[in-house]
């Protein structure tokens, strides 16, 4: 529906193309959607987003499996944007983790919910 009854004349004057409709078609075929359906959809999306467990929690639960013999020499600091930050207690532990980084990363990415982890960094 045009803004003004003579909007074709205004479009010609401004030298811009004229379009009959300004809005997209409703998904409800012209009928307003009930508010209960909209609320249920929004709540479902929020529940889906927050039902996922954090990658840090999953890694902490499986810390012994992921780190094996190095689990007592380091601690998980945080997980941000696909990077696991590990705090090490001494230089020997840091070197051992750096040497076994690929194996540790494979174990972490094999956990459900941690597939987007790409790197290990030291703090």
CA atoms within 13 A on the CB side of 117: 26
Of 96, 73, 98, 77, whose CA–CA distance to 86 is shortest? 77
Does 51 score more than 80 pLDDT?
no
Q: Write the pLDDT tens digit of every residue in 64-110.
A: 998 888 888 899 999 888 899 999 988 998 999 999 999 999 999 99
Q: Which residue has the higher pLDDT, 83 or 29?
A: 83
Strand 119-122's sheet: what is its strand order?
74-80, 83-88, 119-122
Residues in the chain: 123
Q: Output the pTM of the full model.
A: 0.58
Q: What is the CATH number of domain 55-122?
A: 3.30.300
Under DSSP, the state recorded for 2 is -
Residue 58 has pLDDT above 80, yes or no: yes
Q: Choose the weakest-confidence range: 11-25, 41-55, 95-109.
A: 11-25
């Amino acid at each position: 529906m045009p803004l003004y009854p003579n909007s074709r004349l205004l479009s010609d004057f401004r030298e811009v193309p004229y379009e009959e409709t300004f809005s997209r078609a409703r998904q409800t075929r012209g009928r307003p959607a009930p508010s209960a359906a909209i609320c249920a959809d929004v709540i479902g999306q929020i529940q889906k987003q927050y039902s996922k467990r954090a990658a840090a929690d999953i890694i902490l639960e499986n810390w012994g499996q992921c780190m094996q013999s190095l689990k007592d020499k380091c601690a998980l600091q945080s997980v941000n944007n696909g990077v696991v930050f590990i705090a090490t207690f001494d230089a020997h532990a840091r070197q051992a983790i750096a040497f076994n980084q690929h194996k540790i990363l494979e174990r972490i990415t094999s956990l459900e919910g941690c597939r987007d982890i790409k790197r290990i960094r030291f703090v």
